[in-house]
Amino acid sequence: METSPTERGAVERLREMEFLGAEFLTWLWWRCEAGGGLFSIPSVGDVFIQFVKLVRLESGTQSNREMVQCLGRAAQEMKEAKIGLLLGKKVARARLVIKTETITMEVTISSKALDFHGLKIVSGFDDTLEEVTAIEGARGLVLLKLNVLKEARLIIHSIFDQFISRRLDAAVWAREKKGVREWILSLST
């Protein structure tokens, strides 16, 4: 299908702005490690986030992209990923544990589209609830799970909104950036 110049312009703009996702995930890693990973999410409550198992870092653009991917038991052990941060790479993909007051889930988030990969409910999911069993067959269970997915989306998108508000305020961003830089530099010691 042919694309119009306007559409091509929009696609280019989307590509140019892909860096926002990588900056967000890198900032989020800093908030999780240096700031304890606690977030207050409207209509969800307090949420605890932790980086686990997988981190992929990238630098450069399409033609000269460099990538490092680390698989570990916990983010604290991902020394090579942290060396990548020191070299100026940013997080392109990360596996997160998200804990709300009732549910724990695990999901991989990609920086490019902020889409959700392999979301699993780890604990706290009660499929015997009355509102589930009241609906016949698989439909009740589907509704309950959809509400969990909705919560996961609300959490990630709400934290992204928090990030972008800071990113677009030069004075606030300068302070945040300083914090991220100090954290990254501390990883070398």
Partner 1 sequence: MGILGSSYSFSCFRAEVPEGLTDVSGWVVRVLSTHSFREEVEGLSKRIGWTSPFEPFSPQFDVASSILGDFAIFSMRIDERKVPRALLKKYLALEELKYMEEKGIKRLPRLVKKKLRERVEFMLLQKVLPVPTIIDVAWDLEEGIVYFFSTSSKVIGEFQGFFKRSFEIMPEPLIPYTMAEGVGGPDLLRGLTPDSFVS
Contact flag: residue 48 with partner 1 (CB under 8 A): no
Find, among 33, 49, 55, 53, the residue nearest to 183 by Cα.
Answer: 33
Q: 107 Cβ partners below 8 Å, 6+ apart?
A: 95, 96, 98, 116, 117, 118, 119, 120, 152
> What's the min distance (Å) between Cβ of 72 and partner 1?
21
| Footprint (CB under 8 A) of partner 1, residues 130-189 | 135, 137-139, 142-143, 145-147, 149-150, 153, 157, 160-161, 164-165, 167-168, 173, 177, 180-181, 184-185
How many Å apart are CA 187 and CA 189, to the nearest integer? 6
If the CB atoms of residues 103 and 121 are measured against partner 1, the closer one turns out to be: 121
How many Å apart are CA 185 and CA 83, to the nearest integer? 10
Residues found near partner 1 in the complex (CB under 8 A): 13-14, 17-21, 23-24, 26, 85-88, 90, 110-121, 135, 137-139, 142-143, 145-147, 149-150, 153, 157, 160-161, 164-165, 167-168, 173, 177, 180-181, 184-185
